[in-house]
Amino acid sequence: MNAAKVVEDLKQRFPNEPEYIQAVSQVLPTIEEEYNKHPEFEKANLIERLCIPDRVCEFRITWVDDQGKVQTNMGYRIQHNNAIGPYKGGLRYHKSVNLGILKFLAFEQTFKNSLTTLPMGGAKGGSDFSPRGKSDAEVMRFCQAFMNELYRVIGPDEDVPAGDIGVGGREVGYLFGQYKKLTHQFQGVLTGKGLSFGGSLIRPEATGYGTVYFLTSMLATRGIELKGKKVLISGSGNVAQYAAEKCLQLGAIPMTLSDSDGYIYDPDGIDFDKLAYVKELKNVERGRIKEYAEEYPNAVYHAGERPWHEKADIALPCATQNEINGEQAQALVDNGVIAVAEGANMPSLPEAIKIFQDNKLLYAPGKASNAGGVSVSGLEMSQNSERLSWTAKEVDDYLKRIMNDIHENCVKYGTQADGYINYVKGANVAGFMKVASAMMAQGIV
């Protein structure tokens, strides 16, 4: 395989999907050496089959708003690869959603799910619908209209969606209810469900908690503890909230949170009481993070900016893709940050990753450090299949073990001659080899 040539060919075939091309171009060079040790991969044209999704589902969604006006959105499901298990990946409701973004997410999800050691393939889906500013009734009608199309291509042994940006417990509940209505089946076809109808304890916390568990494993390779460290966190949704919570539990000090309008910096740190306020603000009132600065006058709100110029020890980008550019990455380095663990998917641009690695920061890509969410989704699937519910401690213990196993695999494949651990290469090679082995064993399909 010549990685550069493969990427160039994909650019020609998919010229209007920059995020997808970015994701592929970040992965292929890191696996090129390992891939070329296996001539049987090239004979089977494995790399092209791995890059291009198995199936792309695209459909119109028509629904009626509270004013009686008919609205139209686009819906998608990208079923990327099911070599190691049923398709698995979140649904995203956001105005930025398009085919290229979902293809990048599904591609990344395939490797992430492989790293978990659980039997899950990779997929992603969603819509350009935004729940922001919509009533519960409007969100419900949209979710029902979305599921009217989606249900045709999902199932507990075929494709099991979960939540993502814009799709939380409320949306998953509406989607599950409509699936049940359409199929007459009560199945574990969605994860992130409410506890009263098949959900798992620790699922809401899993992505944020898992990111911090991975962070502590990285720090341990240099004999560093998380306790007492100042932490910059972007986002203020599910992942950011629980990353902040786990940081607090382990003695670290979250300093920032953000949303699409700007970020807050609290010089006193965000404690448990302040975090409880944020959860109420974002999860119940659907408010904006600037209201935090109105509630706590010592905090400063920076409109239209991201928190990467503040001084701290750790950075946890937990918002969305491409939120750290080269200049911001250099600011993090200059301000003393020693570790970056991604809670979001591909939040760092390629030039930012290069700066982190050139300066020997501990840097974990999202496919490794944010795999806790899909890991517990996989555990939710297991509980649904067994018709059992595990305790919070059981699930959390599984999560810690999975994140530790992912870290060990990254170290195994990513340790360089000088001792520096390239977590990007480690995660990509470890995830790729499992999927590649399964694909080869199953023939040309």
Give yes or no: residues 219 and 137 share one domain: no
State whether residue 161 is helix, strand or coil.
strand
Say yes or no: 359 and 445 in one domain.
Answer: no
The pTM is what? Answer: 0.88
Mean pLDDT across 269-283: 97
Q: Does residue 360 share a domain with residue 214?
A: yes
Q: Is 69 annotated as a binding residue?
A: no
Question: How many other β-carbons are positioned within 10 Å of the β-carbon of residue 322?
Answer: 16
Are 306 and 323 in contact by the 8 Å Cβ rule? The answer is yes
105: closest CA among 164, 152, 156, 149? 164
Q: Does the pLDDT value for residue 252 go beyond 90?
A: yes
pLDDT (average), residues 387-391:
94
348 vs 177, 315, 332, 353, CA distance in Å?
36, 11, 12, 6
Q: How many domains does the chain have?
A: 3
- Rounded to 10 degrees, the C-alpha dihedral 367/368/370/376 comes to 100
Catalytic residue, chosen from 11, 37, 95, 124, is 124
For the chain, helix (H) and strand (E) counts, in that order, are: 17, 13
pLDDT, residue 321, reads 87
Same domain, 21 and 165: no
Per-residue confidence (pLDDT) for residue 131, from 0 to 100: 94
| Residue of 135, 183, 150, 206 whose CA lies nearest to 371 | 206
Note whether residue 408 is domain-resident.
Answer: no
**What's the rounded mean pLDDT across residues 430-437?**
96
| 4 plus 111 within the same structural domain | no
Q: Is 163 annotated as a binding residue?
A: yes
Q: What is the pLDDT of residues 129-151, one digit of tens each?
A: 999 999 999 999 999 999 999 99
Q: Are residues 233 and 302 in the same domain?
A: yes
Please tell me whether residues 302 and 153 are part of one structural domain.
Answer: no
The answer, yes or no, to whether residue 41 has pLDDT greater than 90, is yes
Say yes or no: 324 and 345 in one domain: yes
Q: Is 207 annotated as a binding residue?
A: yes
| Residue 193 is labelled as binding a ligand | no
Average pLDDT of the chain is 96
Q: Is 37 annotated as a binding residue?
A: no
Paired tokens of 126: 């969603």
Does the CA dihedral 137-158-74-6 come out positive or negative?
A: positive
The answer to whether 402 and 390 are in contact (CB under 8 A) is no
For 201-220, what is each residue's pLDDT tens digit?
A: 999 999 999 999 999 999 99
Residue 227, marked binder: no
CATH code of residue 172: 3.40.50.10860
Do 39 and 60 belong to one domain?
no
Residue 247 has pLDDT above 90, yes or no: yes
88 marked as binding residue: yes
Domain that holds residue 318: 206-369
- Please indicate, yes or no, whether residues 146 and 260 belong to a single structural domain of this protein: no
Does residue 23 have a pLDDT over 90?
yes
Which CATH number characterizes residue 319's domain? Answer: 3.40.50.720
- Give the pLDDT mean for 235-251: 97
Within 10 Å of residue 177's Cβ, how many Cβ atoms? 15
Concerning whether 124 is annotated as a catalytic residue, the answer is yes
> Residue 401 falls within a domain, yes or no?
no
- Answer yes or no: is 412 within a domain: no
Percent of the chain exceeding pLDDT 70 equals 100
The reported pLDDT for the residue numbered 422 is: 97
